[in-house]
Amino acid sequence: DSGVTQTPKHLITATGQRVTLRCSPRSGDLSVYWYQQSLDQGLQFLIQYYNGEERAKGNILERFSAQQFPDLHSELNLSSLELGDSALYFCASSVVGSGGIEQFFGPGTRLTVL
């Protein structure tokens, strides 16, 4: 158990809908990362937050947004869902947001868009 929690574990929804994925980092970690694992794109970085502020952005679609709250948990919002958004979404956390620090991954949320 990495100490990073994600809810829900599974999510099944329809095209056009909006969903929210939640992540709680390890105790003491200030930085949260979101990654997407899909069959065609592999594992790729979406976005990073550090202590409530956006730190870095990757290949995140405009339909997706995220935030980190004062209690340091984070939410990833996916809207106008398409079939291609079906994927495993991971949250990771690290102590700080700067380089060279180990990231710990949560169990993931499996999203299925029908």
Which positions lie near other proteins, rule CB under 8 A?
2, 31, 33, 35, 42-45, 48, 55-56, 58, 88, 90, 92, 94, 97-105, 107-108, 110
Full 3-state SS string of 34-85: EEEEECCCEEEEEEEEECCEEEEECCCCCCEEEEECCCCCEEEEECCCCHHH
**Tokens encoding 27:** 């105790």
What is the torsional sign of CA 97, 60, 62, 111? negative
CB atoms within 10 A of CB 57: 11
Measured CA to CA, the distance from residue 42 to residue 26 in angstroms comes to 25
| Nearest CB to other proteins, comparing residues 15 and 59 | 59
Q: How far is the CB of 43 from other proteins (least distance, A)?
A: 4
Q: How far is the CB of 21 from other proteins (least distance, A)?
A: 14
Q: How far is the CB of 42 from other proteins (least distance, A)?
A: 6
Q: How far is the CB of 16 from other proteins (least distance, A)?
A: 26
| Nearest CB to other proteins, comparing residues 44 and 80 | 44
| Nearest CB to other proteins, comparing residues 16 and 90 | 90
